[in-house]
Amino acid sequence: MYYRYMIVAILLLLLGVLGIVLNRGHLIIMLMSIELILLAASFLFLINSMITDTLIEQVFTIMVLTVAAAESSIGLAIMVAYYRIKGTIAIKSLNWLRG
């Protein structure tokens, strides 16, 4: 009975992944996609919490939310610093380090 919720969560996760891989535009979209992945993961935790009827996943979800908040703030900070130097935040222009 929780399958459809799980499918939604997995679709959200895939959407985030595809957002990272296919996105050729701005870094902000990539950051939003990462947020989406984290939210999808939190959603899965919550569904599992409902299935197994334990609290530990909900604790985890809160911690993930905290980590996600910290991560997006640091990400945004890096992006701002990057914008100051380069004048753009396009991912295509991010290829200075080659093998």
Which stretches of the chain bind another protein, using CB under 8 A? 17, 20-24, 30, 91-92, 94-99
The SS3 call for residue 26 is strand
Q: Which is nearer to another protein, 87 or 99 (CB)?
A: 99
Q: Which is nearer to another protein, 3 or 96 (CB)?
A: 96
Least distance CB 26 / another protein (angstroms): 12
CA distances from 9 to 22, 29, 33, 67, 77 (A): 20, 19, 14, 19, 29
Note whether 89 and 27 are within 8 A (CB).
yes
Least distance CB 62 / another protein (angstroms): 27
Least distance CB 74 / another protein (angstroms): 16
Neighbours of 65 (CB within 10 A): 13
Q: Which is nearer to another protein, 4 or 98 (CB)?
A: 98
